[in-house]
Amino acid sequence: MQRIEPLGGDEFAPRTTYLNTASSGLIPARSAAALRAAVEESVSYGSMGRDYFGPADASRAAFARLTHVPPERVAIGGAVAVHAALIAGSLPDGAEVLVPEGEFSSLVNPFAVRPGIRLRTAPLAGLADAVRPGTALVAVSAVQAKDGRIADLAAVRAAAGAHGARTLVDATQSAGWLPLRGGDFDYVVCGAFKWLLCPRGTSFLVCGDDGLEALHAGWVAGADPMESNYGPLRALAAGARRYDEPHAHYSYVAAAQSLALLNEIGVETVHAHNAALADRYRAGLTALGHTPLPAPGSAIVSVPGLTDAADRLEAAGVRVAVRAGSLRAAFHLYNSSDDVDRLLEVVGEGRR
């Protein structure tokens, strides 16, 4: 097979065979350097640095570029569940929310715990067919965290439009490697600490011009945040910035660098690279007599019956995950064909 080299140049030099991006991504060297500099700056200038909003706004603009939306449609925060809770809080009592069976809890729980919402589930493959009159919102991850299946977002969007439902897409397991046009949906949420290579504490919400009824309405939601520290807000910020949370400064200092790197490389390039590695792994598994769960085109590969390999892989310095009884590997820009071959080598040792 043709050798596949990692992308990103000198930005990555892991001491492990790291195949666990679906849990959390590696931080590029430029991001780590910026983070160290920000911490050092805080010794003299405090933990908000000398420019609290600069890195956050740069991250907002970079995420907007990755998802093909104007920066004015992007809000920043710290967790997907908080963004989803804003959307849940904006729905009227009695609203029906449709989600896939086994969907990740951060996307489901904000609707499940909000009184007055009727939560309904359907198989991922039949999600579009399950949209019906009276469905207010369809919430789905573009890529399923558990097994890597890619949702048919075009079908979901069409079905939702036909029934007057809104769409919420969680891009946490897809942004950074799977091309996505955020403007195709009513809402997009994304935890950036996985495929977007950012630290924990970075997340994004894309929302439309009609906005949301619920608000955090902290001081950063003001049109002029520095004039919104005391008393009621005089005026909300224009666009999605009114839905910002007061952000974790250090996380966004690094995020601005990580997102810039991904924009430099290009999502389409990363997609082709990741898919080729995953296909190489699937072919190797088949040769070893193992059958991965169906997830064509995905950068995530899960294999039932291989959980006994987890300890061997850990001992060999190969980082993967066990999820729902399957061994899960995730391939990203810093991986190479050597990483795939090393993974297959250790997995194959169980047959000896």
Within-domain flag for 34: no
Question: pLDDT digit string (tens) for 219-271?
Answer: 999 999 888 889 888 899 999 999 999 999 999 999 999 999 999 999 999 99
State the average pLDDT over residues 342-352.
84
**Does residue 260 sit in the same domain as residue 276?**
no
Last residue of a domain, one of 206, 230, 265: 265
Type of residue at 270? V
Poorest-confidence range of 141-155, 210-224, 245-259, 336-350?
210-224
| Total domains in the fold of the chain | 2
Residues 51 and 69 in one domain: yes
Measured distance CA(250)–CA(99) in Å, rounded: 34
Letter string b/e over residues 74-112, b meaning 16 or more CB atoms within 10 A of that residue's CB: bbbbbbbbbbbbbbbebbeeebbbbbbebbbebbbbbbe
How does pLDDT run across 36-73, given as a tens digit for each residue? 999 999 999 999 999 999 999 999 999 999 999 999 99
**Same domain for 64 and 146?**
yes
Residue 118 domain flag: yes
Cα dihedral sign for 146, 150, 152, 157? positive
Give the whole-angstrom CA distance, residue 309 versus residue 20: 15
Judgement on whether residues 243 and 300 belong to the same structural domain of the protein:
no
**Does residue 18 sit in helix, strand or coil?**
strand
- Verify that 186 and 315 share a domain, yes or no: no
- Identify the CATH number of the domain in which residue 81 sits: 3.40.640.10
Percentage of the chain beyond pLDDT 70 is 99
What is the percent of the chain with per-residue pLDDT over 90, rounded to a whole number?
A: 89
Last residue of a domain, one of 265, 283, 302: 265
Residue owning tokens 């299946």 = 149
Tokens of 160: 């939702």
Which residues on neighbouring strands pair with residue 203, listed in sequence order? 77, 191
In this predicted structure, what is the pLDDT of residue 350? 63
What average pLDDT does the structure give for the chain? 95
Judgement on whether residues 59 and 179 belong to the same structural domain of the protein: yes
pLDDT attached to residue 28: 98
Residue 272 belongs to some domain of the structure: yes
pLDDT in tens, 122-146: 999 999 999 999 999 999 999 999 9
pLDDT at 352: 52
State mean pLDDT over 279-283: 98
Query: pTM of the predicted model, to two decimals?
Result: 0.96
| Residue pLDDT, tens place only, 74-105 | 999 999 999 999 999 999 999 999 999 999 99
Least confident residue range of 1-5, 169-173, 174-178, 193-197: 1-5
Structure-block tokens of residue 295: 């997830």
Joined together, the tokens standing for residue 271 give: 């997609």
- Based on the fold, state whether residues 225 and 310 are members of the same structural domain: no
Out of 235, 265, 295, a domain closes at 265
Q: 77 is in which domain, residue-wise?
A: 46-265
Same domain membership, residue 297 and residue 253: no
Same domain, 244 and 272: no
State the pLDDT at residue 351. 60
- Both tokens of 249, joined, read 């400064």
